[in-house]
């Protein structure tokens, strides 16, 4: 092999490594720690998991229940029990009408709408914006959808080139990718957990028209010096008393059927008042002892 060929092969291998590194580095813990420590403005320090609460879990539950009840009424409370009628309604109502109805219900209930649009950050791809209304400080703004993996459960294949894996303080992972194998895993687990006519989770976040308009939290971009955070992540375990008929709007599902813990959800809560037209930016939290 000539020296020229060897140099070319070396450059090709280096280019491939750099491409893969860009996909993995934000989930490579030493890299995250090193880079976040250089920019304290992007960090929110908590001493333990119970101290990550910006608002009490009761307030999160109240907001979600309030919205889900409005959505249930707007979608038709008895559609789950009438398969024929459901099929007919889905044929008659266009996707745009359904999306518009979901957003209108959210605006009427919570006083604001959020939606995905191209981010204002260069090369950031999709972002999430307040399209209508006003968000007061301390409001549950969005939910991070996806399959929930306990710290001991395998996620290797699903994590490959996947920037949507969220790590909770206690090591629980939420895979918010709406494509590829992650998409198939969520659909499979959601169908498995169905109880008679009751769906235990919402698969519509995998589409462009989620029934629960808050289920777009995985597209909220991280803050930077130029764009400080206006929302933050907060872990939320769904209480056992959460109404079974409203679980159809929860955009999370456990990977394992025999998980003994409550269903983990992650919500985004506003750190300040947010006006119409603003893009949402989140910050990381880090444990301090």
Give the predicted TM-score (pTM) of the model. 0.79
Q: Which domains does the chain have, with CATH numbers?
A: 43-79+89-288 (2.170.270.10)
**What percent of the chain shows pLDDT beyond 70?**
75
Compare 75 and 90 and report the one with higher pLDDT: 75
Q: What is the mean pLDDT of residues 72-76?
A: 84
Q: What pLDDT, on the 0 to 100 scale, is given for residue 48? A: 60
Q: Please give the average per-residue pLDDT across 240-261, as a whole number.
A: 94
Mean pLDDT of the chain: 83
pLDDT digits 0-9 by tens, 23-71? 444 434 444 444 444 444 445 555 565 667 899 999 999 999 999 999 9
pLDDT at position 126 over 60 = yes
Q: What share of the chain is helix, strand, coil (3-state, %, to 5)?
A: 40, 20, 35
Q: How confident is the model at residue 147, as a pLDDT? A: 97
Query: Which pair of structure tokens corresponds to residue 15?
Result: 């280019």
The angle formed by the CA atoms of residues 91, 96 and 99, to the nearest 5 degrees, is 100
pLDDT in tens, 82-100: 443 444 445 445 666 667 7
pLDDT tens-digit series, residues 216-228: 999 999 988 888 9
């Amino acid at each position: 092999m000539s020296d020229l060929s060897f140099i070319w092969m070396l450059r090709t291998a280096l280019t491939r490594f750099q491409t893969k590194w860009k996909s993995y580095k934000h989930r490579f813990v030493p890299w995250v720690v090193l880079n976040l420590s250089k920019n304290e403005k992007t960090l929110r320090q908590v001493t333990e998991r119970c101290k990550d609460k910006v608002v009490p879990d009761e307030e999160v539950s109240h907001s979600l229940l309030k919205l889900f009840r409005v959505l249930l009424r707007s979608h038709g409370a008895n559609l789950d029990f009438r398969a024929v009628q459901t099929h007919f309604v889905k044929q008659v109502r266009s996707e745009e009408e359904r999306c518009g109805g979901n957003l209108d219900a959210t605006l009427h209930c919570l006083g604001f709408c959020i939606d995905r649009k191209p981010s204002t950050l260069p090369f950031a791809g999709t972002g999430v914006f307040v399209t209508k209304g006003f968000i007061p400080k301390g409001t549950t703004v969005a939910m991070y959808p996806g399959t929930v993996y306990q710290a001991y459960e395998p996620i290797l294949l699903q994590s490959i080139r996947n920037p949507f894996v969220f790590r909770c303080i206690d090591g629980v992972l939420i895979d918010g990718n709406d494509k590829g194998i992650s998409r198939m895993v969520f659909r499979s687990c959601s169908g498995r957990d169905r109880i008679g006519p009751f769906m235990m989770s919402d698969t519509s976040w995998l589409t462009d028209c989620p029934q629960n308009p808050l289920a777009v939290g995985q597209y909220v971009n991280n803050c930077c010096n130029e764009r400080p955070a206006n929302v933050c992540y907060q872990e939320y375990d769904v209480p056992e008393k959460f109404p079974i008929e409203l679980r159809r709007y929860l955009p999370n599902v456990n990977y394992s059927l025999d998980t003994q813990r409550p269903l983990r959800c992650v919500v985004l809560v506003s750190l300040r008042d947010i006006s119409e037209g603003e893009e949402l930016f989140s910050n990381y939290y880090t444990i301090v002892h």
